[in-house]
Structures are given as C-alpha cells and as structure tokens.
Structure 1
C-alpha cells in the first residue's frame, strides 16, 4: 500500500499564504528545490484542490529549455509524469495531461487509491489536506518551514485537529528553511 503524504511549504508560524493570499516568500531556492525534487520523484499521484491545481498547472507547460536551471527542468518533468486528481465543484475540465477531475473528496475512494497505488500519493493544498487528515488518511507530513512570520492567512495545518506525530527526519538549508518529516500516529 502506498503512503499518503501531505507536503507543504509554510511560514514559521504555520501559514501557506498570508492574509492577502501572497506566498512569494515560499519560493524555494535551487538547494531547496533540488531536495523537493528528490522527495517528489517517488510520488505517482498528486491530489490537489482547485486553487492548488491552478497554481501548479504552470508546471504542465513550463519552459524546460536549457536556459532554465536544471532543478527547474527536473521539477517540471516530475509534475508532468505524475497522475493528478483535482477536487473541484467549479472547474469544467482539467487542463493538464494525466489529470482526473472529481467533484468532491471521498475518503473511501482515496483509501482504495492508496491500496492500489504502486507509488506514493501526495495531497496538496491545506483545505484538501485538512479533509484527508480528519479522515485519518495521511501517513506522513512533510513540512518546509521558511524563516518568515506572516501572522495570519491560510493555515498549513487545520485548527481543532489533534494529531500525534513522530519525527522521522529533519534538515536545515543554507537559506534558513527547515524540513521536517513526521509520521502521523
């Protein structure tokens, strides 16, 4: 059975975007992106909410010419090779290859996906992740904490949910970003 991993880039105070929706401060440098690429390579399927999908769709057609850094070209290839499931009640159709549109998050369907998947599955977007966490589907949380405090906005982890976590790995990067990998107990 594949793991379901919640992966997020957040501020030190736990937000994926500030109260105006800005997340420019979260852009990874080459060292962090190379690490992310290594973590994403084993992922076979991305589960995305509409907003996260619309942000990530950039990678579907991203220029991967020689003028781009190798880590950027690598990430584009990783995104393009993966299956994507987008949960949205408002999108008419998905605009990327290897993408299926679902109208609502169905925990039983995600359980079946995990059981059948030969590669890990990752959930992207804090609202969708909150549903997966509440349903007890998430096996691991991978957090990249940036050295910035935004004091409000979109929470990386949902309020009101108690989780026991076991630290599996950690890493510090030259730009002050800290990676934390937890098993959800």
Structure 2
C-alpha cells in the first residue's frame, strides 16, 4: 500500500519503494462524469508541467508514470528538507535563480510557498504543481513571487526582509523579464495593501 505522506483537499500522496504516487481524490459534490473529466485533465496537466520543467532543467521530481485512468502520477521521491527549516542567504540566492529559470520557460507554479520547496544536497527542488500552468503572464509570475514573499514573512519574520531582498535580487540577475515582473510585483503588493485597509 505504501506510507501516506500527505492527504490534501485535492490529492493523496503515498510513498512506496522510493516512488511518490500522487492520486487525485474523488469529489462527491461533483457530478461523477464531470469529476472524472476534471481529475483526468488535472493529472495530465500537472504531469506535462513537471515534464516541461525537467526539460528546461528546473529541479523538479522526475515523472516515472502517468496513470490517467486512476488519476495518478508516479514520480521520483525527493529526499531532502523543506526550505523553511534551513533557509539562509545562499539558499535564498539559489531560490531566486531557480524561480527565474522556471518563469523564463513559461512555467507558473501557482502555489509557491515554502512548503512546496525542498532542498536536497544544496539544490532547490519545486514540488506540487497542482495549481500550476504554462503561461508567460507577467501578472502570474508576480503573484508567484508575492506568495513566496508572504510565506517567508510568515515563517521568518525577523529575517524576511533580507531573505526576500536576496531572492528578488537573484531573480533580477537571472531572469530575462525581471524588470517587468518586479514592477508588476510592486503593483500587486500595492493592491494587496489597499484591500487590507
């Protein structure tokens, strides 16, 4: 059966023989036919995103098998630590560079929190592309960065400003469209502050 790693709203993750199986859960509130189509589409979409990221040399788990009939993806298990626990300035620079590579290849993560980033042998790996998509939207890239900044601020309040500055500086140095994205990030943050008032 395998060891359950995580049970989320959308999927169940189990580990067996160093292989992670991500299986999309049936939603009883949806019509069975619609549910089946949606789960199949999302499984397929996530697998192709991971494969595109791997071809672009973004660090992600390798897809080993896609089982559309059972709404499951089998992938490599990344044995490491969540970045949250060990983030420092060196990892922050690495993270900025990796996000730039991902974005420059038209890949939006969609849920770029510190709980979806694993560090293995000093390298940053992105996991869980369930909300991801292929897009060159400047807005979506800016939102990815905003989500990450908020996650770091929530988990490392004392060091957040410095870490976020290093991440964005590294992103700026490595991304071809950094100026546009970072300008939009400022707009996104202003809108967020306006809403909070």
TM-score range, shorter chain: under 0.3
Select the structure that is richer in strand: 1
The structure with the larger Rg is 2
